[in-house]
Structure 1
Amino acid sequence: MSKTGQKKAIVIGAGAGGIATAARLAKSGFAVTVLEKNSFTGGRCSLIHHDGYRFDQGPSLLLLPKLFREAFYDLDTTLEAEGVELLRCPTNYNVWFSDGENFELSTDLARMKDQIERWEGKDGFERYLAWLREAHQHYELSVSDVLHKNFTSWWDLANPSFVWTGLKLHPLHSIWNRASIYFWTERLRRVFTFATMYMGMSPFDAPATYSLLQYTELAEGIWYPRGGFHSVLAALARVAERLGVEFRLNTAVSEVLTTADGQTANGVRLASGERLDADVVVVNADLVYAYSNLFPQTAATKKFAASLRERAGSCSSISFYWSLDRKVPELQTHNIFLADEFRESFDDIFTKQSLPVEPSFYINVPSRIDPTAAPDGRDAVIALVPTGHLLKSKGHPKSATTENGMLRDQDWPALVERARKSVLSTIEARTGCAPLQGLIRHEIINDPFTWEDKFNLDKGSILGLSHSFFNVLKFRPATRAVGLANAYFVGASTHPGTGVPIVLAGAKITAEQILADRGLAPGWQTHPDQLVDLGVPQNRDTKMLDRVRRPLFWPAVLVALFAAWFALAVYYWTPLVALRR
């Protein structure tokens, strides 16, 4: 029950963005109810359990830890205070190639130096450091000028200061093109570009800005929350509940309700028929799905929904969750198996919307870093195989379709079987491990239809809309709903984009926009550098040894001006002296 005069907010969806936005609004004085269709919180950041085995359904590694810490800090707590223990993976990835070679990506600079020089010589390591410097700039500028800012008008994009920043982010270059400047072998170009799979994009299309993802892995490391990724979202949900947020699970929303003129959201209707009134409705459900299925179909929303369905989506995946009856020591926590036909495999996914003949894939063994993920002496293994998304939105038949003369194979049972065989044979051939098929005690599968049915992801695109140039910043669907007042979005397909840390940053943007629209101040610091729990001493300027002293600028300028004057004087004075003689 809300206090008299207290604003009410309803959040549709208990994913990372929904939980974080609910907590922020509650901290700012709102009475908040979160409605979740499933029986669990976390959305794709949820867990699958089977007979003592535990699997992360979606994300299985934690990147950009500062953004996680910021979310908890703004709510007056920390990850550690909420019982979240982050385990640092000793090796980021083992990247396996078909020729028997592998490359271990690591924060260990000496290890990286040895490997890079092996393939590209001593100059190669120098170029690697130059690439790190550029990626560091992408990281810092993205955090300060993109992930903590909303783009509500075209001026935000055209502002000269942002244009200058934008040029430094190389948005018109692909990750592959920028990597090719610094890495001169095909092997290392692949090693330093495959991470675009995090965004469900091809490295040949993804803007170079996103090298920040691999940078944060190499500079800050890869982390795994003990107990599974969901432990972070569970902790955030507990914080939200302490702030007064009510979570209603197994509660599907059938529509967003509006005032009589259809212009303003004022509540929701549940699938059960119950009506809930609200001053603000925040949608953490898939944005494309929401515009087509939850919003009133006015002329404005219909037009926008149709345009969204035409936009490029991220890929989908066939994911296997295997309970093994023993350990497979050849596999590390995170393993990448890259296709020989690297570019062609991405074209199969993003151009043909199909499963590549030879897919690249990711293998996660959570029990390698956290033994609680499997019974003693056994391994839990997750295989994620990127594939094309579905041809049509929910409700269309699972059949093959021909479009523009191209066969779009929708025989998913056959594709799943082909993916399984490819994964098992590739792992065995490249690592030399024992045959895995006989070790699998139990198998769970998520295919594109699973992602669509369970999480209402349009066409089963696991990471929402694409992050191509015309799908980011002001081009990306806004956090404030089109054609419907008092309705807002948070999540993968709205600004700033996909990925759990990015969505957590987006929750701050959405919450601040809601509060600003009502003339209310947020209950937290609005500056991203106010992160006292990150180990940065707050009194560093009070101690002589810790004062920051930048190199003096004006003396250098004066010296340069004097040198220029002296050179000009000599240049003009020498001929005059000669004439006088």
Structure 2
Amino acid sequence: MSKKVIVVGAGVAGLASAIRLQHAGYEVELYEKGSTPGGKMNQIKQDGYTFDLGPSIVMMPELYRELFELCGRDPDDYIPMEKLDPIYRAYFTDIPDQPFDISTDLIQMTKTIESLSEEDTEGFFQYLHEIYRRFVIAKQHILQRPFRKRTDFYNFPLLTKVLQMKPYDTADTFMGRFIKNERLKQLISFQTLYIGISPLKSPSFYTMIPMIQFLYGVWFIKGGMYTMALGMERLFKELGGTIHYGKAVEEISIQNRKADGIIIDGKKIPADYVVCNADFPYAMKHLVKDKASKGRFTDKKIDSMNYSCSCFLMYLGMNRKYEEVDHVHTFIFNEKLNQNLEDIFDGKKLTNASFYVYIASKKDPSLAPEGKDGLYILMPVSNIATADYTWDEETISYYRNYILNELKNIPGFENVEEEIVTETYTTPLDFESKFNAYRGATFGLQPTLDQSNHKRPQSKASHCENLYFTGSSTHPGAGVPIVLLSARITAQELIQDDTGHVYDYSSNIQPQRGLSH
């Protein structure tokens, strides 16, 4: 008889782990407190407009597709996608009439960079060369493997590779070695915010994020990101998996430091293995109640760790189409971007803020009523514990007014405030209450050097058997492609423990198609 696995939480990594384990022959049941799949990869419907709730930019499409290919399915039947070019348009608030189009077309990209700073163009290509070299090392030796024990990291062959990545400089310092023009540097390095950390503090290897965009492209899934969540749910059910919605897990049942099920409404549901996709800090504080099984992740330790920023999101249904805006993704940078970044992580109310606008209905008109567009606007803000202000109507109103006033300076959005017909928001408090994001930190634990790789929570629980974790606060980190890797590692770890089949991560015989063409 096949062994039973319970997965807690139907976020991206929970669904992906469940699919992999169901495909491998386990009997998998998924328990989700919400009423829909996807976790933060969710959807908001209002007055005929459809918005992605959280993630919105598709990078590394191979990793999205891999999950379906693994199960013998054609990904195009589940997640039809097309490549975007240009990837996005960027504005600086002090020169709104000079937009910069960021393209994967090398000729166009070279012209854009030359228009910003001809003397930095050579440096840009040197940056690409250097970060690609580091990316290959990370891909082959770090991102796709777990670190169960200290010697998995602290061994001569791996440390030699890690030192080649020169991990000790920040993203900002690293970029500054190649590019002197402040605007160009910001255009490239700001993307560490995709995983909730400032480029001023981020380890330099996270500047691989823009490199991945330049070299591999950015994609759009028909129906928006939520199509991926629905596609995973459909695949899991087709494989014979079961999902229970509206079921909040109260505790992971542990006997003699061995997970043996979960507790819901005071009743135990037994299992051979438990995979937890609830945010790791939340899970350790609230679901793992057996003190010995927490290992070093005591409540005190969890409280002392560094957390990512949060986000304030506005979803605006508009009374018209924005024909004069050509791009699905638009970034609006405040000219005092470094001040903006410091304020986010110092907990200050933002007065020089940058934000991002996503118009999914440009690519898929079915996401808005005929002849209309929906605007998704995201602004990185402090997490709840850092912020020296509270999230109330006044704060929402303050940020709403700030964003709309700045947006009016951007061509095409001059009358944006009068064009809103319906609106709703997601605040850090919502990330905390709806998705159990600890302190409302949208991206989980911050990927500082002290909280990356072997120092980040791993898939296999360190002090409890048959318990596994997956998701953005675990290794290898945040961002949809990376949590899909986290799910792959989690499934491999569980299968290894169950069958004794040891994965040899060092020899690189694992399929690499996840991260390369």
Distance in 1 (alpha carbons) for counterparts of 2:292 and 2:150:
23
Equivalent residue for 1:333, pick from 301, 312, 328: 328
Q: 1:89 touches 1:369 (CA, 8 Å); kept in 2?
A: no
Aligned to 1:177, what secondary structure does the other structure show? helix
Equivalent residue for 1:376, pick from 370, 376, 389: 370
Distance in 1 (alpha carbons) for counterparts of 2:498 and 2:292:
27
Q: 1:73 touches 1:531 (CA, 8 Å); kept in 2?
A: no
Distance in 2 (alpha carbons) for counterparts of 1:480 and 1:455:
22
Q: 1:73 touches 1:533 (CA, 8 Å); kept in 2?
A: no
Aligned AA (1:174): T
Indicate how the Cα distance of structure 1 residues 251 and 323 shifts in structure 2: closer, same or farther if over 3 A, else same: same
CA apart distance, 1:385: 0.8
Q: 2:30 touches 2:243 (CA, 8 Å); kept in 1?
A: yes
CA apart distance, 1:411: 4.6
Distance in 2 (alpha carbons) for counterparts of 1:433 and 1:494:
40
**Which structure exhibits the higher relative contact order, with contacts defined as CA atoms closer than 8 Å and separated by 6 or more residues?**
2
Aligned AA (1:102): P
Indicate how the Cα distance of structure 1 residues 532 and 33 shifts in structure 2: closer, same or farther if over 3 A, else same: closer
Q: 2:391 touches 2:429 (CA, 8 Å); kept in 1?
A: no
Q: 1:346 touches 1:356 (CA, 8 Å); kept in 2?
A: no
1:137-152 equivalences in 2 (<5 Å): 137-152=133-148
Number of residue pairs aligned between Structure 1 and Structure 2: 510
Distance in 2 (alpha carbons) for counterparts of 1:444 and 1:274:
37
TM-score by length of 2: 0.94
Q: Does 1:85 align with 2:80?
A: yes
Q: 1:144 touches 1:528 (CA, 8 Å); kept in 2?
A: no
Name 2:50's counterpart in structure 1. Answer: 54
1:127-146 equivalences in 2 (<5 Å): 127-146=123-142
Q: 2:276 touches 2:468 (CA, 8 Å); kept in 1?
A: yes
CA apart distance, 1:533: 12
Name 1:72's counterpart in structure 2. Answer: 68
CA apart distance, 1:484: 2.1
Name 2:117's counterpart in structure 1. Answer: 120
CA apart distance, 1:299: 4.8
CA apart distance, 1:188: 0.4
Aligned to 1:94, what secondary structure does the other structure show? strand
CA apart distance, 1:118: 1.9
Aligned AA (1:70): E
Once the two structures are superposed, residues 230-255 of structure 1 have per-residue CA deviations (whole angstroms, 9 ceiling, x without a partner) of: 21222122222222210111111111
CA apart distance, 1:391: 1.7
Distance in 1 (alpha carbons) for counterparts of 2:490 and 2:81:
27
Name 1:355's counterpart in structure 2. Answer: 349
Name 2:31's counterpart in structure 1. Answer: 35
Q: Does 1:287 align with 2:287?
A: no
CA apart distance, 1:59: 0.7
Name 1:296's counterpart in structure 2. Answer: 289
CA apart distance, 1:128: 1.6
Q: Does 1:241 align with 2:237?
A: yes
Name 1:317's counterpart in structure 2. Answer: 311
Q: Does 1:164 align with 2:144?
A: no
Equivalent residue for 1:109, pick from 106, 110, 125: 106
Q: 1:496 touches 1:503 (CA, 8 Å); kept in 2?
A: yes
Indicate how the Cα distance of structure 1 residues 530 and 94 shifts in structure 2: closer, same or farther if over 3 A, else same: closer
Equivalent residue for 1:422, pick from 402, 408, 422: 402
Distance in 1 (alpha carbons) for counterparts of 2:85 and 2:366:
18
Name 1:499's counterpart in structure 2. Answer: 479
Larger radius of gyration: 1
Indicate how the Cα distance of structure 1 residues 478 and 230 shifts in structure 2: closer, same or farther if over 3 A, else same: same
Aligned to 1:34, what secondary structure does the other structure show? strand
1:176-195 equivalences in 2 (<5 Å): 176-195=172-191
Once the two structures are superposed, residues 169-228 of structure 1 have per-residue CA deviations (whole angstroms, 9 ceiling, x without a partner) of: 231111111111121111101111111110111011111111221111111111110011
CA apart distance, 1:328: 2.4
Distance in 2 (alpha carbons) for counterparts of 1:369 and 1:281:
39
Name 2:380's counterpart in structure 1. Answer: 386
TM-score by length of 1: 0.84
Q: Does 1:509 align with 2:489?
A: yes
Distance in 2 (alpha carbons) for counterparts of 1:480 and 1:533:
23
Q: 1:34 touches 1:246 (CA, 8 Å); kept in 2?
A: yes
CA apart distance, 1:110: 1.4
Q: 2:282 touches 2:436 (CA, 8 Å); kept in 1?
A: yes
CA apart distance, 1:126: 2.0
Q: 1:138 touches 1:211 (CA, 8 Å); kept in 2?
A: no
Aligned to 1:156, what secondary structure does the other structure show? helix
Distance in 1 (alpha carbons) for counterparts of 2:296 and 2:496:
28
Aligned to 1:253, what secondary structure does the other structure show? coil
Give ranges in structure 2 of 5+ residues lacking alignment: none
Q: Does 1:346 align with 2:366?
A: no
Distance in 2 (alpha carbons) for counterparts of 1:520 and 1:238:
30
Distance in 1 (alpha carbons) for counterparts of 2:295 and 2:289:
8
Q: 2:172 touches 2:200 (CA, 8 Å); kept in 1?
A: yes
Aligned to 2:51, what secondary structure does the other structure show? strand
Aligned AA (1:293): H
Distance in 2 (alpha carbons) for counterparts of 1:532 and 1:280:
26
Name 2:359's counterpart in structure 1. Answer: 365
Q: 2:316 touches 2:424 (CA, 8 Å); kept in 1?
A: yes
Indicate how the Cα distance of structure 1 residues 139 and 303 shifts in structure 2: closer, same or farther if over 3 A, else same: closer
Once the two structures are superposed, residues 256-283 of structure 1 have per-residue CA deviations (whole angstroms, 9 ceiling, x without a partner) of: 1122x4x11111111x333210010110
Distance in 2 (alpha carbons) for counterparts of 1:18 and 1:329:
39
Name 2:435's counterpart in structure 1. Answer: 455
Q: 1:319 touches 1:447 (CA, 8 Å); kept in 2?
A: yes
